[in-house]
Structure 1
Amino acid sequence: MATQIVQPGGSIQTAVDYAKEGDLILVHDGVYLEQVVIRTNYIRIVATGHQVVMKGEYDVLHPLLPHAFLLDNVKGVEIKGFQILCYSNDGIHVRLGAFNRIIANKISRCGNSAINFAGSDGNLAYQNEVRYNGMAGIEVSQNGSSNRIIENTSQQNDWNGITIYEEAQNNTVACNTVDCNEEYGVAAHAPDTFIYGNKIKSNGLDGIRISHKSANSMVIGNHVSDNKENGIELEPNSGGALLDSYNTIVQSNVSSENLCAGIQVSSPLNILESNCVYSNKKDGIAINGKFGNRNILVFNDLKHNVSYDLHNSGVSNQFYGNHCESSEPPHLCSNKEHCPSPHQPNACETKKKEHPSPCSKGDHKKPHCTCSSCTSSHHKTPHHSNDWNKKCCSSSCTCDGRKKDKCCHNKHKKEQNWNIHSHYGQWPQNER
């Protein structure tokens, strides 16, 4: 194993081209205008200071570079500690890779997502800060498996904070801070997704959205508040077939002060247990009638929700031990409170200090926007106008007191058949 040093004026790509498996590349403070393509397994590329900056733009006469790092069919690579700015596509793109580690990077103003695990297995995104990117902050796409997104901060991105695409399995989204993104905080379109201990606040649509094809998922111990639609939503399949977010466990979450329901269930055969749901602007927990059937609700604590604490319009749903003040139909509430205090910290808060939300600061880098709530149409994918450089959404917004339509100037991103997997646990000991 060898160590290479890259100084300002040098090339990270040159060091990577000479690297052998097991080598360490240390990059010193400076600005590096390049894209680095990695095709060697088990190398580490580590920023040695706090001002190691990679930029995708040269000047107005040159096009933006697509990625800061492209990990092309490699495994065991680590990228750590970089500031990444202004690339036209993803900041870090992992294509067909496995067991790679993306750690403690700050990535902003990229045209698509900050980090994209595309067709990749067993990768880790840990303690990254991703802001102001053109699509999702972090996404998993194209036939991956067992990727883990843990303790990241994803704020003010032009689409979702974190997105897991369709037909995947075993994704983990744990202990992240997800604030002020244009659409969903966390959007899962895949089965067996584990969403645990996240703090999700002030996003433009739902805080957590479990879409159709997301069966057998778990949503546990999250704090979800002040989102412009529902705190947590289990969405039905539009075709009505039993491909919904069924058999999902929603447990021990705190959902408060959202503009619609704290938890909305529009799919069958789910379990809602020991959630604290309070002060939402419509229902606390709403079970919708057409597909919200045969669910089990036990030991939930609901109070101070504007319409009803517990609203059931489905059939064959079961209720036991739910403490609430109002319900429709009546008599769904019990008298004993089972849930812990909603102010009790979740499991992740004892492990890391909280990142401040940019929504609460006075010196916004982007205008403070508020959008119309409770829209009837939801956006599982971006809606594109005739201008392919724009992603336009149907809801209206007010930004710094001025009305505008909710359009984001992004590169066009084609819809694909996505397959991802993630897993939460210790790093595999036999990864090599």
Structure 2
Amino acid sequence: MAIINVNPATPGGINGVVNAPTTQPGDVILVENGVYRESVTVPSTKSNIRIVAADENAVLEGDNGFPNAFTLNNVTGVEINGFTIREYTNIGIQVNGNGFNRLVGNKLRQIGGDGIQLNSNGNLVYTNDVSRLNGDGVEVNGNSNWIVKNEISGNKGNGINNLAGNNNTITQNFLVGNNRNGMLINGSNSLIVKNHLHQNMLNGVFVAGVSSVNTVIVDNSISENRGDGVLIESDNAFVGNNSILKNRQSGVELSSDFSIIEGNEIENNKDFGIKINSGADKNLILRNQLCDNQPSNIKNNGANNNFVNNSECKDQSNDESSDESSD
């Protein structure tokens, strides 16, 4: 294993060093400060290399002429760490095939499409700053990925778009002021925990379609989104112990069956605290605290839904009482 230093005057730039025959698994390519106008492709023969910026002043700049800053093709164990990435026409960092790669501490700005796109399984996206892009902050088209502690704000798409992946974990991210949903989920068995979703133009969390079953949404702070705090279209969701405040539509809107809404603080939302749509049946609404939602705390248009031990502001009337009841 070797540490290979790269600077802006290195022949072939970062891409040349990555693809050199002498670069071997375990090598660290240490990129010194400066501006690198290039696109870096890591081929399938270069698994387990680490491409590390000296600090955020190591800048990959596309000049709106290169499509991607980094493209990882069928590799395993590659780390991209600490770069500033800007002005690419397509995607900041794209991972295609294989998996178990690490994208850590990068800053992405002014990208024509998505900031980070995972077409791969088992990757870690950690502590990246992804803002002011024309697409989604992070798009996931793979399984068993970890999206952790990223700041994703002001993008024209969704903050995080789980477009076609299962068993993904999304935790401790800040998703603020994105032009679509804070988080869009199209995949089963997702875990969404301890995120902050605020002031997004559509919903805080949107679990879309019938295939996104068994989504678990717990311990999140979801507020001041222009749509719903949480919108559920898939069955068997669990929404628990979230703070869901001041959203312009419903706190929680259900169009699904067999879901559980438990132990949430749901206050000051503008289109009911919990709204259950026609056709949404056999859900359990348990031990939630509901207060000052308009026009009332609960609206139940479904059938055979159970409401148990929810606490409500005493001056508000609802379609269902806070005591144990079923339709």
TM-score by length of 1: 0.72
Q: Any gaps of 5 or more consecutive residues in structure 2?
A: none
Deviations 1:115-141 (A, max 9, x none): 0001x1100100000011111000112
Relative distance call for 1:297 and 1:327 in structure 2 (3 A) is farther
Residue of structure 2 in register with 1:176 after alignment: 173
Is structure 2 residue 122 aligned with structure 1 residue 122?
A: yes
Residue of structure 2 in register with 1:204 after alignment: 201
Deviations 1:11-47 (A, max 9, x none): 1112111211110010011000000000200000100
The residue type paired with residue 230 of structure 1 is D
The residue type paired with residue 83 of structure 1 is T
Deviations 1:320-362 (A, max 9, x none): 11001334325x2149xxxxxxxxxxxxxxxxxxxxxxxxxxx
Residue of structure 2 in register with 1:153 after alignment: 151
Distance 1:109 1:327 in 2: 48
Q: Any gaps of 5 or more consecutive residues in structure 1?
A: 58-62, 236-244, 336-432
Relative distance call for 1:327 and 1:286 in structure 2 (3 A) is farther
Residue of structure 2 in register with 1:392 after alignment: none
Deviations 1:146-165 (A, max 9, x none): 11111001101011000001
Residue of structure 1 in register with 2:97 after alignment: 96
Distance 1:149 1:27 in 2: 25
Residue of structure 1 in register with 2:9 after alignment: 9
The residue type paired with residue 135 of structure 1 is G
Residue of structure 1 in register with 2:50 after alignment: 44
Residue of structure 2 in register with 1:54 after alignment: 60
TM-score by length of 2: 0.94
Q: Does the CA-based 8 Å contact 2:307-2:323 persist in structure 1?
A: no
Is structure 2 residue 284 aligned with structure 1 residue 309?
A: no
SS of aligned partner of 1:9: coil
Q: Does the CA-based 8 Å contact 1:247-1:270 persist in structure 2?
A: yes
Q: Which has the bigger relative contact order, CA under 8 A and spacing at least 6?
A: 1
Tell me by how many angstroms 1:172 deviates.
1.0
Sequence identity of aligned pairs in percent? 36
Q: Does the CA-based 8 Å contact 1:66-1:88 persist in structure 2?
A: yes
Residue of structure 1 in register with 2:265 after alignment: 276
The residue type paired with residue 16 of structure 2 is T
Q: Matched residue pairs, number?
A: 315
Deviations 1:293-335 (A, max 9, x none): 11001100000112111111111001111001334325x2149
Relative distance call for 1:154 and 1:318 in structure 2 (3 A) is same
Q: Which runs of 4+ in 1 moved over 3 A?
A: none
Q: Does the CA-based 8 Å contact 1:324-1:334 persist in structure 2?
A: no
The residue type paired with residue 30 of structure 1 is G
Residue of structure 1 in register with 2:287 after alignment: 299
Tell me by how many angstroms 1:8 deviates.
2.2
SS of aligned partner of 2:311: coil
The residue type paired with residue 37 of structure 2 is L
Distance 1:196 1:294 in 2: 25
Residue of structure 1 in register with 2:29 after alignment: 25
Q: CA RMSD in A?
A: 1.2
Equivalent runs, 1:98-247 vs 2, <5 Å: 98-118=99-119, 120-141=120-141, 144-166=142-164, 168-212=165-209, 213-235=211-233, 245-247=234-236
Q: Does the CA-based 8 Å contact 1:71-1:97 persist in structure 2?
A: no
Residue of structure 2 in register with 1:249 after alignment: 238
